[in-house]
Amino acid sequence: MAQLKVELIAFSESLGFDLCRIAPAGVPPHAEQFRQWLGDGDAGTMEWLARNPDRRTDPRLVLPGVQSVIVLGMNYWQPDPETSGQARGRIARYAWGDDYHEVIERKLRLLDEWLRDRGGVQKTYVDTGPMLERDFAALAGAGWQGKSTMLLHPKFGPWLFLAEVLTTLPLAADEPMRDHCGKCTACLDVCPTQAITSARRVDARRCISYLTIENKGSIPEEFRAAIGDRIYGCDECLDVCPWNRFAQESRESAFAAREFVHGWSLRDFLALDDDGFRTLFHKSPIKRIKRRGFLRNVCVALGNIGTPDDLPALERLTDDPEPLIAEHARWAIERIRERTTTDSASHSAALAENSRG
C-alpha cells in the first residue's frame, strides 16, 4: 500500500492535479457544526444540503467498505489583465474559463479506472456529492480551513478546486496541516455584506456568491448596492487573503480567462437573448444560472456603476418576457437617474460656490 500511494500521487500529477492527499474515511470534525448551520437556516434555499445529512457527514454510508478518502486539488489562479474602457462587471475567478466540473470529472474517470485495476471500488465527486469536502481536505493536510471557511494552502492560497475519491483501498492517511491564519481577520473585515458572521461561519443568505448564483429569485434590495460591479460570484475574501502572495498561475489551460471576462462591457451582456447566452457561455459554469439570473446580476451592477449612456439598453429590458430581468432593469434605471440628478446638483452647487469665491 505504501508503494501504491507513491504511484497514486505520481499518476494524479500526470493527470494535472497539483495536490493528492489522503484522509481517513470517518466522520469529519465539523459534522455537528454543519447540522447546526443547517438548523439555523444559514443555507438559504440550498435545500439539497439538508438532504441526507447523515450521508453528507459519514462517507461510510455513501460507499460500503470505504477505507480512504483521496483528496485532490487543482490550482485555478489566473493573473488579472489590464482593462480599460466601458464599465465591466467582475466575475469570480473560478468561472473565467471552462466549467471545472467537466474538466476535473474527465480526469477522475481516468483515476477511477487506474484504481479499479488495482482492486479498488470508488465513488468520485467534484463539488457535487454528499461530502464536506473542505473538512476532508483539511484532515488530509491539503491546507487548513481559513476564517472565511475557504481552504487555504501555503503554496496556492485559496485558489484550489477540490475533488474527492472514496475508495475501498486502505491507503495511509496524511497528517493535517496546522492553522496559519493567526490573528488575521482580513476576510471577515472585507466582506461587503458581512456574510462571514464569525470565524469559519458564513450566512449564505448574505453572501454575494449565493445571491448572484444560488439564489434563483429577486436579489433583496438591502444587498444590491453592496454587490457593486460583481455579476457572478465574489472573490473579495479570497483576494484579500495574505497567502495570495504565493499564488501562481494555473498550468491547466482550460481555466484561462475567456474573452467575455475582460473584453465585454456590462452593456454588451444586455443584448443577449437565450440563444446568444447559451452560445457565449457554452462549457462555462455561468450557464447554470441561465439568462434570467445572469442579466438580473448585470442590471444590478449597472444600477451601481452605470451611466446615462446605459439607460436605452436597460429601458429595452423593462419589457423583457422574463419578469425577473424586467424588475431589476427598472431598479437599475431608477438608481442611475437618482445618481445623475445628485451628481448634477453637486456640480451646480460647486460651480455656484466657486463663482461666489
Is the distance from CB of 86 to CB of 266 less than 8 angstroms? Answer: yes
Other residues' Cβ atoms within 10 Å of the Cβ of residue 42:
20
pTM: 0.92
Is the distance from CB of 304 to CB of 260 less than 8 angstroms? Answer: no
Query: Would 197 be classed as within a structural domain?
Result: no
Is the distance from CB of 249 to CB of 93 less than 8 angstroms? Answer: no
C-alpha span between 263 and 7 (Å, rounded): 43
pLDDT for 356: 60
Residue 91's φ and ψ, nearest 5 degrees, are -115, 135
pLDDT for 84: 56
User: Could you give the angle at the alpha carbon of 237 between the alpha carbons of 189 and 227, nearest 5°?
Assistant: 85
Query: Would 93 be classed as within a structural domain?
Result: yes
127 is catalytic: yes
Please tell me whether residues 268 and 331 are part of one structural domain.
yes
User: For residue 122, which of 174, 162, 62, 57 has the smallest C-alpha distance?
Assistant: 62
Instruction: Please pick, among 127, 179, 273, 274, the residue that the annotation labels catalytic.
Output: 127
Q: Cell numbers of 186, please?
A: 482580513
Number of residues in the chain? 357
Other residues' Cβ atoms within 10 Å of the Cβ of residue 348:
10
Please tell me whether residues 161 and 257 are part of one structural domain.
no
Q: What is the pLDDT along the chain (357 residues), one digit of tens a residue?
A: 899 999 999 999 999 999 999 999 999 888 999 999 999 999 999 998 888 888 888 999 999 999 999 999 999 999 987 665 567 899 999 999 999 999 999 999 999 999 999 999 999 999 888 889 999 999 999 999 999 999 999 999 999 999 999 999 999 999 999 999 999 999 999 999 999 999 999 999 999 999 999 999 999 999 999 999 999 999 999 999 999 988 999 999 999 999 999 999 999 999 999 999 999 999 999 999 999 999 999 999 999 999 999 999 999 999 999 999 999 999 999 999 999 987 655 555 555 566 565
Query: Would 69 be classed as within a structural domain?
Result: yes
Query: Would 132 be classed as within a structural domain?
Result: yes
C-alpha span between 211 and 225 (Å, rounded): 12
Domain containing 329 equals 214-235+248-350
Indicate the number of domains in the chain: 2
